[in-house]
């Protein structure tokens, strides 16, 4: 379902220059999309995310600052062919996303701080079901990477349980500027 990948062997393995890291990473993502079956792409992208997460100055100051009390997405890269988007998400301390699923595939990693991800399952298989129950929970720390499945349930909630902002790097299928929030449906917890 959701696979957490150990990145300890990746730290420091690449140059820490965002001007070369981001284009090299995006070229790799484009190549993966062109050569692999889509079902394999998110896991393979997650294998390459450590190169970005190891860069301490990956983001501009504006991309690292929360501007309010809600989480905020910042564009890092939009594929000119609309194949994928790289976003930085800033999570203020204590913030929760709604329980949601996505329109497209996703790979993500934690750049700074910590993120608690809770995986949910819909209470029934009808298309209009908006109730879900928790299945598992994973505590992601800085450097953790994972991915959501393609063409399968990807209902989850993200939460910053820390006392300082957290930042995660997300790679989504499609153009995030055109897709908007990339949320297919919001769920409530089964009571």
- Of 107-111, 117-121, 153-157, where does mean pLDDT reach its minimum? 153-157
Whether the pTM exceeds 0.85: the reply is yes
d(CA 43, CA 111): 18
CB atoms inside a 10 Å sphere around CB 92: 17
Secondary structure letter of residue 14 according to DSSP = S
d(CA 103, CA 93): 27
Mean pLDDT for the stretch of residues 98-118: 93
Domains and CATH numbers, the chain: 8-189 (2.60.120.10)
Mean pLDDT for the stretch of residues 60-86: 90
Mean pLDDT for the stretch of residues 58-74: 87
Would you state the pLDDT for residue 191? 61
pLDDT over 50 at 147, yes or no: yes
Would you state the pLDDT for residue 15? 57
pLDDT over 90 at 137, yes or no: yes
CB-CB contact of 87 with 74 (8 Å)? yes
Tokens of 61: 């100051």
Instruction: Using pLDDT thresholds of 50, 70 and 90, give the confidence band for residue 2.
Output: very low
């Amino acid at each position: 379902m959701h696979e957490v990948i150990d990145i300890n062997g990746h730290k420091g393995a690449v140059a820490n220059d965002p001007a070369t890291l981001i284009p090299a990473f995006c070229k790799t993502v484009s190549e993966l999309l062109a050569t692999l079956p889509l079902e394999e792409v998110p896991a393979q992208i997650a294998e390459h995310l450590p190169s970005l997460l190891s860069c301490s100055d990956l983001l501009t100051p504006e991309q690292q600052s929360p501007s309010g009390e809600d989480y905020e997405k910042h564009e890092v890269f939009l594929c000119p062919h609309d194949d994928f988007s790289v976003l930085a998400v800033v999570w203020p301390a204590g913030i929760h996303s709604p329980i949601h699923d996505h329109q497209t595939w996703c790979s993500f990693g934690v750049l700074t701080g910590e993120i608690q991800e809770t995986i949910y399952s819909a209470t029934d298989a009808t298309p209009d079901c908006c109730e879900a129950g928790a299945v598992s929970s994973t505590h992601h720390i800085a450097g953790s990477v994972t991915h959501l499945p393609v063409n399968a349930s990807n209902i989850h909630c993200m939460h910053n349980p820390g006392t300082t902002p957290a930042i995660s790097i997300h790679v989504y299928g499609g153009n995030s500027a055109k897709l908007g929030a990339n949320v297919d449906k919001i769920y409530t917890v089964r009571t």
